[in-house]
C-alpha cells in the first residue's frame, strides 16, 4: 500500500477541483491547503458544496478536474489508501441501531481488519465515556451519545485525518462543547480535523476557516484574518425603541445589516466613513447608548453572501 508522506506538515493540498452533477456545478475550482494538527472549519449554507468537497478529499467522489493530495496520496489514483487512513463522520447517524454500542464498534473493527480489536474497542469505549452504555442498543441513544459512538468508530483505526460533516447538528449545547473539547485534544495529538458546521461559536473554535457558497470558496484563513480582509464597520446601540429604530437604520444607504442581539442592535456597513456619517444625526438623539465594536464572523459571512448574490444577479442580467 502507498504510504502517506512521512513527516510532511501538509495533510490536504488540492488545486482547481471541480465537480458537476448534471447541469449543477457543485464545486468550482476548489483550492485548499490544510496542515497537520489543524482544526479547519468548512462553513457555508446548505447546498453550498461542503459535503461534495469533503467527499472528493477522502476519495468517495472523483473530481471532474483538478488535482491534489490527501495525506500525501493522490486523490484520484490512491483513493483506496486514503480511505484507510481517514475517519469520516457523516451528517446522519449511519450505524446499526439494532446493534449495541459495543457490537457496532466490533463490526467496524472487523471491516478495517484492526489488530487487537477487542482491546481497541474497549479502549474506545473508555476514552469516549461509552463504557456505561456499551450494551445499549444504538437506536436507544440520545443525539449526543450517538455522536460519541460515531466519533469512537471513526477513531478505531487510528486515522491521521478526520473529516466531519455537520457532526453536531441536533445535539444539545453541553454535548457540543464536550465534542469540541475532544476535537482539540485530538488536534493536540497531531490528528488533523476538517469539520463543516453552521454554528458561529464552533467556527470561532477552529484554527482556520474556509467559507464556501454556490460551490466557490470565498474566503479562508483564521477568523481574525477573514474579518480583517472584509473591512466592515459595526456599531452597537442599546435603546428602548429597538424595533422602530431598526426600521429607520435599515433605510440608511450605508447600512448593510441590522441585527438584534438581546437588548442591543448591531449595525454593519462596508464603508466605515459613510456609516459613521449616516449614523451621526441618530447618534445625537438622546436616550441611547452607542459603541463602535468589532464585526463578528456572522457579519462577515452575511456580507460575503450578499456580495455573491449581487454578483450572481448582475451576471444573470448581462
Query: What is the pLDDT at residue 181?
Result: 93
How confident is the model over 223-266, as pLDDT tens digits?
999 999 988 999 999 998 899 999 999 999 999 999 999 899 99
For the whole model, what pTM was predicted? 0.86
Query: What is the pLDDT at residue 200?
Result: 86
- Which position has the higher pLDDT, 172 or 195? 195
Please state the three-class secondary structure of the chain as a single string.
CCCCCCCCCEEEEEEEEEEEECCEEEEEEEEEEEECCCEEEEECCCCCCHHHHHHHHCCCCCCCEEEEEECCEECCCCHHHHHHCEEEECCCCCCCCCCEHHHHHHHHHHHCCCCCHHHHHHHHHHHCCCHHHCCCEHHHCCHHHHHHHHHHHHHCCCCCEEEEECCCCCCCHHHHHHHHHHHHHHHHCCCEEEEEECCHHHHCCCCEEEEEECCEEEEEECHHHHHHHHCCEEEEEECCCHHHHHHHHHCCCCCCEEEEECCEEEEEECCHHHHHHHHHHHHCCCCCEEEEECCCHHHHHHHHHHHHHHHHHHHHHC
pLDDT at 118 > cutoff 50: yes
Query: What is the pLDDT at residue 2?
Result: 37
Amino acid at each position: 500500500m502507498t504510504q502517506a508522506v512521512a513527516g510532511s506538515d501538509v495533510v490536504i493540498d488540492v488545486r482547481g477541483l471541480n465537480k458537476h452533477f448534471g447541469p449543477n456545478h457543485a464545486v468550482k475550482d476548489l483550492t485548499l491547503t490544510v496542515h497537520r494538527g489543524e482544526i479547519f472549519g468548512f462553513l457555508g449554507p446548505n447546498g453550498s458544496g461542503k459535503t461534495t468537497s469533503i467527499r472528493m478529499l477522502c476519495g468517495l467522489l472523483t473530481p471532474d478536474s483538478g488535482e491534489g493530495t490527501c495525506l500525501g496520496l493522490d486523490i484520484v489514483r490512491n483513493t483506496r489508501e486514503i480511505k484507510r487512513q481517514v475517519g469520516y463522520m457523516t451528517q446522519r447517524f449511519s450505524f446499526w441501531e439494532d446493534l449495541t454500542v459495543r457490537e457496532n464498534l466490533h463490526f467496524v473493527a472487523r471491516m478495517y481488519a484492526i489488530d487487537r480489536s477487542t482491546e481497541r474497542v474497549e479502549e474506545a469505549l473508555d476514552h469516549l465515556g461509552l463504557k456505561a452504555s456499551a450494551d445499549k442498543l444504538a437506536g436507544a441513544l440520545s443525539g449526543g451519545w450517538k455522536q460519541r459512538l460515531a466519533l469512537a468508530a471513526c477513531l478505531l483505526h487510528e486515522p491521521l485525518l478526520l473529516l466531519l460533516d455537520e457532526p453536531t447538528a441536533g445535539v444539545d449545547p453541553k454535548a457540543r462543547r464536550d465534542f469540541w473539547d475532544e476535537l482539540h485534544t485530538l488536534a493536540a495529538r497531531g490528528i488533523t480535523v476538517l469539520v463543516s458546521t453552521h454554528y458561529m461559536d464552533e467556527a470561532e473554535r477552529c484554527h482556520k476557516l474556509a467559507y464556501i457558497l454556490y460551490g466557490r470558496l470565498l474566503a479562508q484563513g483564521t477568523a481574525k484574518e477573514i474579518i480583517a480582509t472584509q473591512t466592515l464597520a459595526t456599531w452597537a446601540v442599546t435603546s428602548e425603541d429597538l424595533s422602530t429604530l431598526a426600521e429607520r437604520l435599515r433605510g440608511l444607504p450605508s447600512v448593510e445589516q441590522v441585527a438584534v442581539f438581546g437588548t442591543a442592535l448591531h449595525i454593519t456597513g462596508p464603508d466605515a466613513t459613510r456609516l459613521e456619517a449616516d449614523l451621526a444625526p441618530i447618534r445625537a438623539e438622546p436616550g441611547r447608548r452607542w459603541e463602535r465594536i468589532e464585526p463578528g464572523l456572522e457579519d462577515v459571512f452575511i456580507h460575503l453572501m450578499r456580495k455573491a448574490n449581487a454578483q450572481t444577479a448582475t451576471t444573470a442580467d448581462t
